[in-house]
Amino acid sequence: MSRVEALVTPELIKWARESAGLTLDEAAKKIGRPEHEIAQWESGELRPSIAQARKACEVYRRPLAVLYLPLPPEDFDTLRDFRKLPRGVVRSYSSMLRRMIRTAVEHQSWVRDFLHSEGMPPLPFVGSETTDTRPEEVAGAIREALEVDLSSQQKATSREAALSLWMTHAEKNGIFIFRHGLIDLEECRGFTLADPVAPFVYLNSADALAGLLFTLAHELCHIWIQESGVSNCADSGDFASSDDAKIEVFCNAVASEILLPSDAFNREWANMSSQVDLKTRIRHLSNVFKVSEETVARKLLEQNRLSQAGYRSLRQAYQKRWEEIQAMRRKHFRESSGGPSYYLTKVTSNGYAYTQSVISAYRSGSVSGRDAATLLDAKVNHLDRLGGTAGMPASLRA
């Protein structure tokens, strides 16, 4: 059979690879062609076959038709940058963060269309608050809407259980959450796509469990005030604008009030002897509320019970401790064959709610197995196992 060339635009092949955040070497390995051949496709020296162009589009997560356009289509708008960065640092996103944002945008676009087809109305809480509202009131509204009371959080058996509690209730109420740990924490701890129908939240799983909980609470506030953007929750550096600073300071205050309601926090603080050293008291409050010690220290800073210098010193100590824990874990995984299963890793990175939506659409016949596999970046024969891992009952399909 003769080789049929795809008459694609070379610049579009290069754009598709770069917008997917892949190097030539990474693309070559995923497509299964030599690196120099991919480079020749992009320079116009060589054209891919139709089959090769299709494979490239699967890897780059683009429809084949896009490679025939004369110019690249408009891609997602870069999310608003709410990060605190050192003065003089150029504001840019790494290729991995751009890839993560783009994946979230694509997943959100599919979910939004799917939910519209199912007749789902907009979520009433998206955009229901503004930064003019008192943080305590917004925190109360979020707790009420997600049906998570403080006693449930305190009764959680661990910080992991507390995070699971909040994530489960958020997803049950229409918020899509996914986690991945390939981005440096200093660059991004989380981001939000605050859509009225399908809001998406990314959590950087390189963080500690209790740190993830604070980031989740912070991103929930972004949904309630309907402000999409990337956050790093840094304690030093500069914001891009005073408006960005106002929003991030507000979201931090709301997150603090969600996890540590002032009334309960102050009562617990008052019950401790002032003779007990500060670190011990912080550790105690961290255990009572199932939050990080850094979150407690931040609360004390907000209440002027801790100086800025004292907070930064504690934060550095907590971060150093976490880095040491991470190093030990990496060493353990290198020396053992342990670690989470493929299916759990895939569901976590796609998100439980998103995985359930795609599998439900597949089982109902709304999307084909091939399309469902593409949406989940998995193989067709993995779909039922992924559904089971995401908490769905066994498939009744033949």
- What are the extents of the domains in the chain? 10-68, 95-335, 342-389
Task: Give yes or no for residue 66 having a pLDDT over 50.
Answer: yes
Task: Give yes or no for residue 82 having a pLDDT over 60.
Answer: yes
Mean pLDDT of the chain: 90
pLDDT tens sequence across 165-212: 999 999 999 999 999 998 999 999 999 999 999 999 999 999 988 899
| Predicted pLDDT of residue 396 | 54
Out of 79-83, 132-136, 209-213, give the one with best mean pLDDT.
Answer: 132-136
First to last CA, the chain: 35
Q: Global pTM?
A: 0.82
Per-residue tokens: 101: 């944002």
Alpha carbons 179 and 212: distance in angstroms, whole number: 10
For residue 328, what pLDDT band results from cuts at 50, 70 and 90?
confident
Looking at the DSSP bridge assignments, the partners of residue 193 are: 200
| Predicted pLDDT of residue 76 | 59
For residue 55, what pLDDT band results from cuts at 50, 70 and 90?
very high
Please choose, from the candidates 226, 342, 212, the residue with its C-alpha nearest in 3D space to the C-alpha of residue 290. Answer: 212
User: Any idea which residue has 């995923």 for tokens?
Assistant: 30
Please choose, from the candidates 92, 100, 77, 76, the residue with its C-alpha nearest in 3D space to the C-alpha of residue 240. Answer: 92
CB 100 within 8 A of CB 183: yes
φ, ψ at 367 (rounded to 5°): -135, 155
Looking at the DSSP bridge assignments, the partners of residue 190 are: 203, 231
Alpha carbons 276 and 273: distance in angstroms, whole number: 6
| Predicted pLDDT of residue 74 | 60
| Predicted pLDDT of residue 77 | 60
| Identity of the amino acid at 134 | R
Strand order in the sheet with 190-193: 176-180, 200-204, 190-193, 229-231
Ramachandran sector of residue 44 (left: φ over 0; alpha: ψ -120 to 50; beta: rest): left
DSSP state of 94: -
Task: Give yes or no for residue 395 having a pLDDT over 90.
Answer: no
| Predicted pLDDT of residue 317 | 92
DSSP H or E segment with residue 295: helix 293-302
User: Any idea which residue has 């008459």 for tokens?
Assistant: 7
DSSP state of 68: G
Task: Give yes or no for residue 249 having a pLDDT over 90.
Answer: yes
| Predicted pLDDT of residue 106 | 84
Whole-angstrom CA distances from 80 to 83, 110, 352 are 9, 22, 26
Of residues 235 and 162, more confidently modeled? 162
Whole-angstrom CA distances from 6 to 31, 38, 71, 284 are 16, 14, 17, 65
Query: For 98-105, what is the mean pLDDT?
Result: 87
pLDDT tens sequence across 9-20: 999 999 999 888
Alpha carbons 190 and 207: distance in angstroms, whole number: 10
Per-residue tokens: 324: 């040491």
Could you tell me which residues come within 8 angstroms of residue 62 by beta carbon, excluding any fewer than 6 positions away?
16, 20
What is the Rg, in whole angstroms, of the alpha carbon atoms belonging to the chain?
A: 23
CATH topology of domain 10-68: 434 Repressor (Amino-terminal Domain) (1.10.260)
For residue 26, what pLDDT band results from cuts at 50, 70 and 90?
very high
Query: For 23-41, what is the mean pLDDT?
Result: 95
| Predicted pLDDT of residue 398 | 42
